[in-house]
């Protein structure tokens, strides 16, 4: 089984080490100093008191790797469109693409049913390019729950978590998901196969849509956002709007708003990924975590005043910092593309 991890940063590097240790045929696509360090010294994972170093194939040129059985995309979601053409040499007739990214994935409406079947969302897949070049039919959903960070080039620090739920967009059981889940488990990871993968996508997004932009605006950690009365109330308002939109698309939430907020509070003094990106001068995931919810709200006719206000402010904050290159607002619903 040949596996390419495309975007071997913090999460991709963590997966790369664990899968390589389990004996998988893993290749990593990375760039810059991180790639140079992995080529020279291997890829090291620090997990508690343990230290593991592996030496998988590492490259910035996918043409060196050939056709893969699975491509696990661990890029920031807003970066995928820019590299979808470069992934083409990795694709064969049976290649599956695992979207281990935050937010709504490009394939969301594939085998979704209803009036939006096979639609694309402009805020996450401008012009439907990912849908065309990667293929929605190749997709396997994956939610990323672990927290990891690049401690130094070629060195990944595991902070907490090892859960990567997987699922077919159709909700069907498949041999591909079963094979991948078995490999993840052999690598010491949790990989439950879900028949409602979209529910889990929204459960993760439910926190990201509010906590991430609020943290970027306030520089507050999760514990502060969830205990301060004003930011907790704002988070709740955005989550209520988001839940109304998701349920219109048939999503079922297995916890309520207060329990979801409490779960985030218990994580403690954690900086969200958006705040970390801001502090490190990296483009922030505004569109796949926030703008896409606004766009889907407009499709359903559900007003999102709380989300709209926070989105406007965080977008302006990113522009001022030179960290925003996405779409400033969701497309007009009438422009929704059908693949």
Reduced to 3 states (helix: H, G, I; strand: E, B; else coil), residue 323 is coil
Q: Is residue 121 a contact partner of residue 148, using CB atoms and an 8 Å limit?
A: no
- CA-to-CA distance for 277 and 275, rounded, in angstroms? 5
Per the DSSP assignment, residues forming a β-bridge with 2 are: 25
- CA-to-CA distance for 307 and 151, rounded, in angstroms? 33
Measure the CA angle with vertex 208, ends 204 and 212; round to 5°: 160
- CA-to-CA distance for 293 and 11, rounded, in angstroms? 24
For the chain, the 3-state helix, strand and coil shares in percent, each to the nearest 5, are 45, 15, 35
Q: Among the options 86, 190, 204, 252, which is catalytic?
A: 204
- CA-to-CA distance for 130 and 82, rounded, in angstroms? 9
51 part of the active site:
no
* Exposure on the CB side of residue 38, measured as CA atoms within 13 A: 30
Q: Is residue 161 a contact partner of residue 145, using CB atoms and an 8 Å limit?
A: yes
Residue 111, token pair as written in the block: 């085998």
Reduced to 3 states (helix: H, G, I; strand: E, B; else coil), residue 184 is helix
- Just list the catalytic residues: 204
């Amino acid at each position: 089984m040949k596996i390419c991890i495309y975007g071997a940063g913090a999460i991709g590097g963590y997966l790369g080490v664990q899968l390589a240790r389990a004996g998988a045929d893993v290749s990593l696509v990375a760039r810059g100093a991180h790639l140079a360090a992995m080529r020279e010294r291997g890829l090291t994972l620090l997990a508690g008191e343990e230290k593991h170093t592996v030496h998988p194939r590492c490259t910035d040129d996918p043409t060196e790797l050939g056709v893969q059985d699975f491509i696990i995309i661990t890029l920031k979601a807003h970066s995928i469109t820019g590299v979808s053409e470069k992934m083409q040499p990795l694709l064969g007739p049976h290649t599956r693409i695992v979207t281990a990214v935050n937010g709504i994935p490009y394939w969301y409406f594939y085998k979704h049913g209803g009036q939006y079947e096979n639609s694309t969302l402009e805020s996450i897949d401008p012009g439907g390019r990912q849908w065309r070049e990667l293929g929605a039919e190749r997709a396997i959903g994956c939610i990323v729950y672990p927290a990891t960070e690049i401690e130094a080039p070629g060195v990944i620090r595991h902070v907490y978590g090892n859960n990567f739920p997987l699922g077919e967009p159709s909700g069907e059981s498949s041999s591909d998901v079963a094979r991948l889940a078995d490999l993840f488990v052999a690598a010491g990871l949790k990989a439950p196969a879900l028949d409602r993968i979209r529910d889990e996508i929204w459960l993760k997004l439910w926190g990201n849509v509010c906590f991430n932009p609020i943290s970027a605006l306030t520089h507050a950690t999760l514990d502060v956002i969830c205990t301060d009365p004003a930011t907790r109330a704002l988070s709740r308002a955005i989550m209520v709007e988001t839940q109304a939109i998701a349920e219109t698309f048939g999503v079922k939430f297995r916890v309520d708003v207060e329990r979801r907020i409490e779960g985030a509070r218990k994580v403690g003094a954690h900086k969200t990924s958006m705040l970390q990106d801001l502090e490190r001068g990296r483009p922030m995931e505004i569109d796949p975590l926030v703008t896409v919810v606004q766009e889907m709200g407009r499709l359903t006719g559900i007003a999102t005043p709380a989300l709209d206000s926070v989105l406007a402010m965080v977008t302006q904050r990113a522009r001022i910092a030179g960290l925003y290159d996405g779409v400033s607002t969701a497309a007009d619903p009438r422009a929704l593309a059908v693949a």
